[in-house]
Amino acid sequence: MYDVRFSLFTTIFLLVFSGQIFSQTKILSQQDIHRWKKIEQEKLSSDGRFVAYVLESATSADPILCVWDSATESTQKFPRGTEPRFSNDANYLIFRIKQPLDTLKTLRRKKVKDDDLPKDSLGIFNLQTRKLEKIGGVKNFSTPEKWDGYLAFQLETAPPDTSAAAKSAAKKMKKENKENGWRLVVRHLESGRKDTVPFVKEYVFAEKNPRLFLATTGRDSTVLPGVYFFDFEKRQLAPVFLGKGKYQKLALDKTGNQAAFLADLDTSKARIRPWQLGFWSDKMAAAELISVRRDAEFLLKNENATVSENATPRFSDDGSKLFFGIAPPPVLNDTLLLPEEIVNVEVWSSQDDYLYTMQKKRLDEEKKRSFPAVFRTAENRFVAVGSEDFQVRFTASRDADLALVFSEKNYSQQLIWDGVAHLDLFALDLKTGDKQLIVKNLRGQPQISPSGKYAFWYSQPDSAWFVWNAQNAQILRLTDNQNEKFFDEENDVPDLPDACGFAGWLANDEAILIYDKYDIWQFGLTGKPAARLTRGRETKTIFRYLKLDPEEKFIMPDSEILLHRFNETDKTEGYDWLDLASGKQTKWQSGKFSFSRKPMKARNSWDILFTRENFETFPDLQFSGKGKVKQVSRANPQQSEYEWGSIELVEWFSLDGKKLQGMLVKPPHFDPSKKYPLLVNFYEKSSNTLMAHRAPEAHRSQINYSIFSSRGYLVFNPDIPYREGYPGESATNSVLSGVSFLLSKGFVDEKRVGIQGHSWGGYQAAYLITKTNIFACAEAGAPVVNMFSAYGGIRWESGRSRIFQYEHQQSRIGGSIWEYPLRYFENSPLFSLDKIQTPTLILANDNDGAVPWYQGIEFFTGLTRLGKPAWLLNYNEEPHWPVKLQNRLDFQIRMEQFFDHYLMGKPMPRWMKRGVPAMEKGILQGLELDDE
């Protein structure tokens, strides 16, 4: 008896120790996606003590708002909480509480109108007392950014009183709606005291001082229509401008000592509304409507221009300038014409600056387009700035009296075949409105230094950086690429290489920090030689500056800055601190992780919030205070319940002898002595994402690596370098050599190899199966198969011609169909469909704005005509990929069934065996497996 018990105890102990009882992990499936959460809407309190974030479901469950306290390392959760905001003093967290999604769905199924659905609530959580207050029926809310004590929110219309007397009175009462506005509640956070303003259309807090500016349509004689300040001391409205009319686009300067708004006081039904600009300062008893009509010089430059209702006024940071929009009168139709009398014809002309499709796509935007103008507040005068032919770029603060204006009018047709238009660049004096030519025929994106002393740009034809000195109007070339290259060294499209970018400017525009492929360089503008600030090239480590202060305009020369570090060889990342004064560089975070490129710093402390991740590790939030790094979130603890694969970097030689890299995902408990099915998925170059986490999700365009590896698949993603004119051959060179390399290892079943790609990857998948029969099946999403018909087509999402992408961009042909007809023929899978022996699944949506969906039709009908097994999925009204959740889930299930049938020997689902007839669309999906 003793021996039996001892033996049983020993067995149980060994089983438990080895994880066979309490760690019975499961295989991931598409049905498990709903369990995964994403972290969104991260916020860090100003003192750095608290972190708020929202856990959003990967499918359609209610969100969860979490608040983490760094002092206690505890987390408090609020079901259905979203849109968190900390008060400036970090004493309160204010957020929206949404209605339960199941409740809303039930009511919608009962045909309840949207206006009658239950409304959201407002949550006010006291971070000191840990008490939560809820206020129902909240429409919107706002909190001061840099001062304390108050909250403002608007309430939805109160439920109606159904009594007869109330109904009779209600007919005469002014109603809360979009036209009249809603109640605004001004709430003192500590005391709970409330003040209500009726029928408010807009409201805005000043950034730095206790000022609340609002517009109301009024309520009888107690509150007249107009714009007001709310006086926090007297708890009453202080009128700024009164009068019946419409008021909108409220704006305050940072201090709240100046205000602006747009007003339409015309009571007629004129189709062109006479909007005026309202201006107030604390030196004025009341606001004035300032008319652009009073300034002769301004009108001379902007004939017939009026104030635009579509542009929100904005003050410069120092308050010296008020920017607003002007616009020419709109083109009006003849309202007396009957429908049968109106001619609707599109007139396309080769003389048009822009293709008609681009004009049409931009039509709504153009109707609302405005051109900037400036009111110089102290001088009480206008300055003309923009016009129809020019775009304007200001400093971030708009304090400087220099702006840049540029025009692509003389080069606009280049967009058709080059993809970019050249520019004529001018300097604009915001004191006088005078323009000074800087450079003509520029191909680049000009910018202006923070203090407005320089214009600067990267010139693509020169592959070099230039600066223009506003004081002496001289142009200085900063880089010559003789010793170091400051352009994309790996550019593999038939076009001019882009810049590697720049980090920013030092204070007072003393120097600019520019990137080469690996390092950060400091270029002085007073004759000092360039200095390399980092040492990355020697170890193939890329350093990039991380901006921790979103309001930062420049970098202090004696500051310590945070850098992101990425090693090209092993794909590891980390953070370094660089002391600009001493040049000392110190590692802070390292490891086999990918680290967030957008860490968040508390405004008033050095507490930093960031993420780190790898294939096995979800990017949970990490907090660095004065001590060690602490983990804030645990978004997906259920991951430990599942079988999870692993990922590694693989290297091999291409068919032409070049060393290549790629990623290989292996199933859990990988055994090299076994044979596994292999799925090949790729785009261009992806190996730099080796450390990225891939949570189970209903992806819109590609297989999910975690799910497929958990189910026993190998997943291979090879990098593809391209040769101009031969994109299909380049893919063949890289992909087939990589697959052959893996086959040589002995753990890949050569009869169970599949391929999957989308868009450019879909094209390459389609091309590859015309050249090889190594793949047992293929899925090609949104593929181009006929480069001739695609070349002259339109990208409907933008209205642009597709020509440029074949001659200069991703398609990499390097010239027109008249220059290289054979290249277009040889790279088009359509003309070799008869060679295909691979069953093919095609995704082509009828609202695709990037790849014409008839490319998928050409592919499918060609395969059908040739008697090849093929299926086409078209998610109606969806764009380049499925966007709606139900469609993304469906797509992933069908891909899984497709690959499982050909690579795992699973039964063929009904939709593959017999299709889904049009009569059954949306009713019977055909996902059932027929076990025969």
What pLDDT is stored for residue 331 in this prediction?
A: 87
The percent of residues in the chain predicted with pLDDT above 90, rounded, is: 86
For the segment 280-310, what is each residue's pLDDT rounded down to a tens digit? Answer: 999 999 999 987 555 545 554 566 778 999 9
Q: How far apart are CA 315 and CA 497, in angstroms?
A: 38
What pLDDT is stored for residue 389 in this prediction?
A: 82
What pLDDT is stored for residue 797 in this prediction?
A: 93
For the segment 651-696, what is each residue's pLDDT rounded down to a tens digit? Answer: 999 988 999 999 999 999 999 999 999 999 999 999 999 999 999 9
For the segment 84-116, what is each residue's pLDDT rounded down to a tens digit? Answer: 999 999 999 999 999 999 999 999 999 999 989
pLDDT at residue 14 greater than cutoff 80:
no
Question: With bands split at pLDDT 50, 70 and 90, how would you rate the model's confidence at 7?
Answer: very low
In the chain, how many H helices and how many E strands?
A: 16, 55
Neighbouring-strand partners of residue 573: 566
What pLDDT is stored for residue 53 in this prediction?
A: 98
- Both tokens assigned to 162: 């159904």
Three-state SS string over 140-156 comes to EEECCCCCCCEEEEEEC
pTM score of the predicted model: 0.93
What pLDDT is stored for residue 9 in this prediction?
A: 41
**Residues contacting 512, CB < 8 A, separation 6+:** 449, 456, 465, 467, 478, 502, 504, 505, 506, 522, 523, 525
Q: How far apart are CA 847 and CA 860, in angstroms?
A: 17
Q: Return the H-helix or E-strand segment holding 281.
A: strand 276-281
User: Residue 243, by phi and psi: left (phi above 0), alpha (psi -120 to 50) or beta?
Assistant: left
Average the pLDDT over 443-467 and give the result: 97
For the segment 560-583, what is each residue's pLDDT rounded down to a tens digit? Answer: 999 999 999 999 999 999 999 999
Neighbouring-strand partners of residue 276: 263
- Long-range contacts formed by 475-478: CB under 8 A, 24+ apart: 475/438, 475/439, 476/525, 478/512, 478/514, 478/523, 478/530
CB atoms within 10 A of CB 160: 9
What pLDDT is stored for residue 749 in this prediction?
A: 98
For the segment 805-814, what is each residue's pLDDT rounded down to a tens digit? Answer: 999 999 999 9
Question: With bands split at pLDDT 50, 70 and 90, how would you rate the model's confidence at 63?
Answer: very high
User: Residue 74, by phi and psi: left (phi above 0), alpha (psi -120 to 50) or beta?
Assistant: beta
For the segment 64-86, what is each residue's pLDDT rounded down to a tens digit? Answer: 999 999 999 999 999 999 999 99
What pLDDT is stored for residue 626 in this prediction?
A: 65
- Long-range contacts formed by 815-823: CB under 8 A, 24+ apart: 815/494, 815/725, 816/417, 816/791, 817/787, 817/788, 817/791, 820/725, 823/725, 823/726
For the segment 715-758, what is each residue's pLDDT rounded down to a tens digit? Answer: 999 999 999 999 999 999 999 999 999 999 999 999 999 999 99
